[in-house]
Amino acid sequence: MSPRTHWFQRWLLPGLAFKAVVIGGGYATGRELASYFLPSGPWGGLYAMLLATAIWSVVCVVTFLFALRTTSRDYRTFFKHLLGRFWPIFEIAYIAAIIVILSAFAAAAGAIAGAVFGFPPLAGALALMALITAFASLGNDAVERLFKYVSFLLYGTYAVFVVLSLLKFGGRIETAFAAHTPTTGWPLGGLTYAGYNIIGAVIILPVTRHLTSRKDAVIAGLLAGPLAMIPAALFFIVMAGFYPTIAQQVLPSDFLLGQLGLPAFRILFQTMIFAALLESGTGGVHAINERIAHAYERGGDRTFAKPMRLAVTVAILAGSVFVADRVGLVSLIADGYRWLAYVLLAIYVAPLLTLGVWQLSRPAPPTLTEPAA
């Protein structure tokens, strides 16, 4: 492994993987930004984003340090060390969270298929699920390559989008930020948004196997917050030019692309969103596969083969498509995500910043062993 690649995997890959989980569903489409940031106005939304970024970075630093200290590379091992015999509480919440999140991804893919190509929503959802199945069944290396290459497409497309939008909507954006709009409620918006998305720090534990020191964990954690939020902040600034009407759009991204009036770029941007949904969904399913593989292979010569990964992936995604078809994107983000935030703050963030920090402050044991199953 070259020094450059090694540096990328230790410091940047965790943040890019975290971004991959965070950006799916509503962030990529703008729906989450409309739900949790726009109600506080242009400036209040940016304050909420800064708060969410700080929370992400702090929790990611402590999570990565704790994972390094306890050699936890999957969420089951992590929570056995953090919560002891109460670790199954997180397992139950995690499975429910993944179903909600993947359902939002499926609903978003369906909405894109309908808005751009006129296809039935179910067609877009099934296409996304098929691609997630293909990547999630291939294992760690394929998933990490997906995180890397989709990141290039994502950051590049957002950069072009922002430049084009500033050229066309610059006056509207300036007017929106100059107006005296109430900023009330931004702390709750930032905390809620950070709360349900912070599950990404646990989902990406498999990529923390590249961390070699506490310094790596701290740098990777500090970078994770900004890497995940910068595209959202740029997107939000453009959305602010159409505040408050854009808050009612199911797909704010498609609304803005329509205002730009560039059909070719609209297709490119929606392709990027679809790719973002793919990497996000793959990250969530991959975490479950890694947890099952770790338990299945412990203490024996058994291997969690690709057909087994495929079966688990199909089972999870089938349930997600069913929920997406019944509930819809707006309701999943407005209601499902909000309750998810409260649960994760209670069973993950609060124990991590108390019990986890306490464990990290104690001298490291001479050898680290995983708690008994």
The amino acid present at 328, given as its one-letter code, is G
Res 53: pLDDT = 97
- What digits encode the pLDDT tens for the residues 44-95? 999 999 999 999 999 999 999 999 999 998 888 999 999 999 999 988 888 8
pLDDT the model gives residue 37:
95
Higher per-residue pLDDT: 304 or 84 = 84
Q: Output the CA angle 197-11-208, nearest 5 degrees.
A: 65
Whether 74 and 205 have beta carbons less than 8 Å apart is answered as yes
pTM of the model: 0.82
pLDDT higher than 50, residue 373: no
Average pLDDT over all residues of the chain: 84
- Percent of the chain predicted with pLDDT > 70: 88
The pLDDT of residue 4 is above 50: no
Handedness of CA 99, 101, 102, 108 (dihedral sign): positive
Q: Is 60 exceeded by the pLDDT of residue 329?
A: no
53-80 burial, b at 16+ Cβ within 10 Å, e below that, comes to bebbbbbbbbbbbbbbbbebbbbbbbbb
pLDDT tens column, 247-268: 888 889 889 999 999 999 988 8
Q: What is the mean pLDDT of residues 103-115?
A: 79
**Whether the Cβ atoms of residue 158 and residue 235 lie closer than 8 Å to each other:** yes
Picking from 13, 78, 50, 48, the residue whose alpha carbon sits closest to that of residue 219 is: 13
pLDDT tens-digit readout, 122-178: 888 888 888 888 877 776 677 777 777 888 888 889 889 989 999 999 999 999 999
Sign for the pseudo-dihedral over CA of 173, 177, 183, 187: positive
8-355, CATH topology level = Amino acid/polyamine transporter I (1.20.1740)
